[in-house]
């Protein structure tokens, strides 16, 4: 029996890449409303405390678990040994609070946080850069796995691993200790096929982000050569079932392949336009229904 838990990212309420979105919203409002919507866990955001004691206390107040937390890697700028030193504080926080995966993304040269730079100008790697990245990822992945936390690589619009070909190259040139965070929205936004990736790398998928996308907004973003953050402000993303992505085939395949872990709603929107509690409730209801249709048992 494949079981999953449903989590949410605080981007629904307050944005890390564009702090003006939801900047005045207290962390406690995010947690209270996320729990009210039905979610049993949260990923980290910039408003969360960064010591195990404080983080455990605030999550416990709302009967929530720590799902995971984003880590910005710079393996193209520093050695694997330097990266391991840099990741230790974040790793210890995740371990102490019970998270089993680390959301890991190489951010060297990334543009997703720069509203002035269109997605068409996202960075690409040379063969030498790919070699450096994959070698470093293997070393860091082995280290994290030995510590009891699996690396889950987050392919992301505006970064060096964005397209389906990028994901395939990363997976094909790294060991099993380098897991994959399958983000349906980011992959579809890069013209990729989430089902194909799930079919090819099901054993490597350690974490899943369920980000829906409005295709007309995506077409407008491309036609007008706009940035990732412009897309967020234009309403590019939404919760599962409210956009145009067909989640069910991919979720069914993950179920049939034995995936167990978290399914996470990660849908950055302008909270003044998309009322956070309303969309959190919608996201929970739709994702639970999709998960159960796929055959998963949803647990707390």
Within its chain, how far is the Cα of 259 from the centroid?
Answer: 16
Judged against a pLDDT cut of 90, whether residue 114 lies above it is answered with: yes
CA dist 221 and 262 (Å) reads 30
Q: What is the pLDDT of residue 258?
A: 97
DSSP 153-194: EE--TTSSS-SHHHHHHHHHTS-TTEEEEEEHHHHHHTT--H
Q: What is the pLDDT of residue 1?
A: 75
Judged against a pLDDT cut of 90, whether residue 168 lies above it is answered with: yes
CA distances from 212 to 167, 185, 245, 281 (A): 19, 5, 6, 15
Q: CA neighbours within 13 Å on the CB side: how many for 263?
A: 36
Q: What is the pLDDT of residue 157?
A: 98
Where are the chain's structural domains?
3-299
Q: What is the pLDDT of residue 19?
A: 73
CB 298 within 8 A of CB 5: yes
The pLDDT mean for the chain works out to 96
Judged against a pLDDT cut of 90, whether residue 259 lies above it is answered with: yes
**Could you name the CATH architecture of 3-299?**
Alpha-Beta Barrel (3.20)
CB 295 within 8 A of CB 3: no
126, containing H or E segment? none
CB 18 within 8 A of CB 237: no
pLDDT for 224-233, tens place per residue? 999 999 999 9
pLDDT for 22-46, tens place per residue? 778 999 999 999 999 999 999 999 9
Tokens of 23: 């900047």
Q: What is the pLDDT of residue 17?
A: 75
Within its chain, how far is the Cα of 124 from the centroid?
Answer: 21
Judged against a pLDDT cut of 90, whether residue 256 lies above it is answered with: yes
Contacts of 131 (CB under 8 A, 6+ apart): none
Output the CA torsion 180→249→263→123 (10° steps).
Answer: 40
CB 203 within 8 A of CB 177: no
Say if pTM beats, i.e. exceeds, 0.95.
yes
pLDDT > 90: percent of the chain: 93
């Amino acid at each position: 029996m494949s079981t999953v838990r449903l989590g949410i990212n605080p981007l629904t309420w307050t944005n890390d890449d564009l702090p003006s979105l939801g900047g005045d919203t207290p962390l406690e409002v995010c947690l209270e409303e996320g729990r009210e919507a039905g979610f049993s866990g949260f990923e980290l955001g910039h408003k969360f405390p960064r010591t195990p004691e404080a983080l455990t206390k605030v999550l416990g107040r709302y009967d929530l678990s720590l799902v995971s937390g984003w880590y910005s890697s710079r393996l193209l700028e520093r050695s694997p040994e330097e990266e391991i030193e840099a990741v230790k504080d974040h790793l210890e926080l995740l371990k102490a609070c019970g998270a089993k995966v680390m959301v890991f993304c190489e951010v060297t040269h990334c543009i997703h946080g720069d509203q002035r730079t269109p997605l068409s100008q996202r960075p690409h790697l040379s063969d030498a850069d790919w070699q450096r990245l994959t070698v470093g990822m293997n070393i860091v992945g082995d280290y994290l796995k030995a510590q009891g936390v699996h690396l889950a690589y987050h392919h992301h619009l505006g970064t060096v691993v964005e397209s389906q070909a990028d994901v395939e190259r990363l997976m094909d040139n790294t060991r099993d200790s380098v897991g994959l965070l399958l983000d349906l929205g980011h992959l579809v936004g890069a013209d990729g096929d989430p089902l194909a990736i799930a079919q090819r790398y099901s054993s490597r998928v350690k974490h899943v982000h369920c980000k829906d996308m409005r295709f007309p907004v995506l077409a407008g973003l491309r036609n007008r050569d706009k940035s990732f953050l412009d897309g967020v402000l234009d309403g590019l993303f939404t919760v599962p079932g409210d956009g145009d992505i067909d989640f069910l085939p991919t979720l069914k395949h993950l179920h049939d392949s034995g995936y167990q872990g978290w399914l996470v709603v990660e849908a950055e929107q302008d909270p003044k336009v998309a009322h956070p509690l309303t969309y959190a409730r919608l996201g929970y209801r739709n994702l639970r229904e999709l998960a159960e249709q796929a055959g998963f048992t949803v647990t707390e």
